[in-house]
């Protein structure tokens, strides 16, 4: 017999001596005509495992298994908000609003068994000076109207970003005030002719793309002048937009001007942030809730520079919905009116 260190070159001679010889590490080729037992065992095992896997797939995951939830058909992806840019008008970026809607939905909904209490319309004035103050309002998860001042550095960007966030945009038209207040660029002045006033408003609308309405910025002097308000109403009629009177003066001439020109006219009910404190905002909102009704929404105006307003509205939104109030916009409410009382276009 050869030594173990050398590979054997002897051919098997058969018989009992061959059964006793050392088996080499190389697997022997099976004899022709006889199946290899190892192959039979491997094939049988594969068939059994495949059958078990098929049965498990049909039964689904066991009670202790974790399962990835499938996306809801009614889920709406939330667009990513761009980071605030540093601007010369804001000393620091405004804090992001903390919004935590209930699990399973992007927005809370009222209990269907409760009667609908009424509609609330919120308008945020004075956008256009910077983007940092505006962004928290664009993050709010309900319908909102952004009133953009014209001819400012960020007027066009504010209007575009508001529309991208799903908010309504209107022109915040500056008008001459009583006293020495400066209404800013693009203002309607008492010294203007009708044509000058119309050209001014038309030029302002061009800097607020997508505006579907307008309201007055200041204007305690100009909005009492029927001659000028007819000019403003004529532009609104030409553009097919509505007018919201901020009611900065009790003797406003806009209702009569709107009647003569045949445009949709709305009035502000409550200022939300005459005082910037949170308690004052909540009190003003409660006042507006009392005015809200199914056939008459309460229109509330706040301001983009109000530091507490965006977070307060975000915190109070779920409670408003639970109480049966629907947050909407003027444009949505007009659609609701056109479709009939059964339509509900708010959230």
pLDDT by residue (tens digit) across 310-320?
Answer: 999 999 999 99
pTM value > 0.85:
no
Question: What are the structure tokens assigned to 225, written together?
Answer: 């002048």
With contact defined as beta carbons under 8 Å apart, do 153 and 184 qualify? no
| Separation of alpha carbons 311 and 336, rounded Å | 28
- Is 70 exceeded by the pLDDT of residue 27? no
- Is 60 exceeded by the pLDDT of residue 62? no
pLDDT tier at 63 (50, 70, 90 boundaries)? very low
Question: What are the structure tokens assigned to 67, written together?
Answer: 């399962």
Question: What are the structure tokens assigned to 53, written together?
Answer: 């896997």
| Separation of alpha carbons 330 and 171, rounded Å | 14
Per 3-state DSSP, the chain is made up of helix, strand and coil in percentages (nearest 5) of 35, 15, 50
Q: What value does the mean pLDDT take over residues 55-67?
A: 42
DSSP letter string over 240-288? T-EEEE--SSTT-SHHHHHHHHT--EEE--EETTSS-SHHHHHHHHHHH
Out of 78-82, 147-151, 288-292, pick the least confident: 78-82
**Architecture of the domain made up of 123-339:** Alpha-Beta Barrel (3.20)
Task: Provide the greatest CA pair distance for the chain.
Answer: 127
Helix (H) or strand (E) holding 185: none
pLDDT at 231: 98
| Separation of alpha carbons 250 and 268, rounded Å | 12
Instruction: For 203-212, write each residue's pLDDT tens digit.
Output: 999 999 999 9
pLDDT at 3: 45
Question: What are the structure tokens assigned to 213, written together?
Answer: 């309405």
Question: What are the structure tokens assigned to 168, written together?
Answer: 């309504």
């Amino acid at each position: 017999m050869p030594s173990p260190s050398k590979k054997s070159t002897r051919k098997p001679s058969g018989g009992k001596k061959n059964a006793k010889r050392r088996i080499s590490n190389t697997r022997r080729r099976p004899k022709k005509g006889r199946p290899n037992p190892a192959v039979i065992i491997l094939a049988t095992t594969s068939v059994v495992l495949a059958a078990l896997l098929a049965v498990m797939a049909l039964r689904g995951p066991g009670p202790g298994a974790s399962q990835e939830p499938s996306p809801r058909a009614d889920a709406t992806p939330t667009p990513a908000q761009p980071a605030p840019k540093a601007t010369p008008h804001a000393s620091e970026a405004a804090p992001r609003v903390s919004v935590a809607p209930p699990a399973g939905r992007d927005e809370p909904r009222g209990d269907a068994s409760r009667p609908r209490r009424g509609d609330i319309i919120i308008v945020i004035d004075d956008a256009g000076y910077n983007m940092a103050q505006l962004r928290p309002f664009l993050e709010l998860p309900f319908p909102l109207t952004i009133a953009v001042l014209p001819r400012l550095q960020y007027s066009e960007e504010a209007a575009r970003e508001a529309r991208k966030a799903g908010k309504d945009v209107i022109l915040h038209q500056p008008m001459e005030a009583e006293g020495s207040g400066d209404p800013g660029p693009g203002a309607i002045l008492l010294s203007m002719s009708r044509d000058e006033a119309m050209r001014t408003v038309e030029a302002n609308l061009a800097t607020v793309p997508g505006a579907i309405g307008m309201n007055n910025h200041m204007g305690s002097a100009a909005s009492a002048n029927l001659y000028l308000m007819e000019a403003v109403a004529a532009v609104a009629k030409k553009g097919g937009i509505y007018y919201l009177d901020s009611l900065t003066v009790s003797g406003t001439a806009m209702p009569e001007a709107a009647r003569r020109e045949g445009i949709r006219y709305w009035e502000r009910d409550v200022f939300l942030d005459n005082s910037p404190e949170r308690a004052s905002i909540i009190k003003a909102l409660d006042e507006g809730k009392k005015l809200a009704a199914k056939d008459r929404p309460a229109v509330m105006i706040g301001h983009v520079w109000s530091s507490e307003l965006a977070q307060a509205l975000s915190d109070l939104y779920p409670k408003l919905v639970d109480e049966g109030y629907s947050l909407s916009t003027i444009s949505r409410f007009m659609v609701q009116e056109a479709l009939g009382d059964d339509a509900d276009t708010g959230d």
